[in-house]
Amino acid sequence: MSLSKIRIQDKIEIVGSHKTIQVRYADQILEDGVVISEKYHRESVECNNEAKAIEHNVKALADIYWTDEVKQAYQDSLEQTI
């Protein structure tokens, strides 16, 4: 019997008008290569956060969805909340 633990990036979603990228990770416990336990963890990558997009390996999606118009609308929304 061999136990191991891995973390995989199992789901990526683009949500909201500002194209927030949600990344779901699954922490899996495997016994002889078969998943016997799984727990989920989610991270959100807000528009214009290039460093976090790189960290979570979603920069290519950010480049597609975070257009200049989306970035400007996001910035405008931040300024309205001040």
**Residue % of the chain over a pLDDT of 70:** 98
pLDDT at 1: 83
- Look up the pTM and report it: 0.86
- Distance CA(68)–CA(45), nearest Å, equals 17
CA distance 77 to 82: 9
Instruction: Yes or no: say if 30 and 4 are a contact pair by the CB < 8 Å rule.
Output: yes
Q: What's the full length of the chain, in residues?
A: 82
Three-state SS for 20-66 is EEEEEEEEEEEECCEEEEEEEEEEEECCCCHHHHHHCCCHHHHHHHC
Q: 14-30, pLDDT tens digit by residue?
A: 999 999 999 999 999 99
SS3 of residue 62 by DSSP? helix
In which band, very low, low, confident or very high, does the pLDDT at 64 lie, cut at 50, 70 and 90? very high
39 pLDDT more than 90: yes
Residue 42, pLDDT > 80, answer: yes
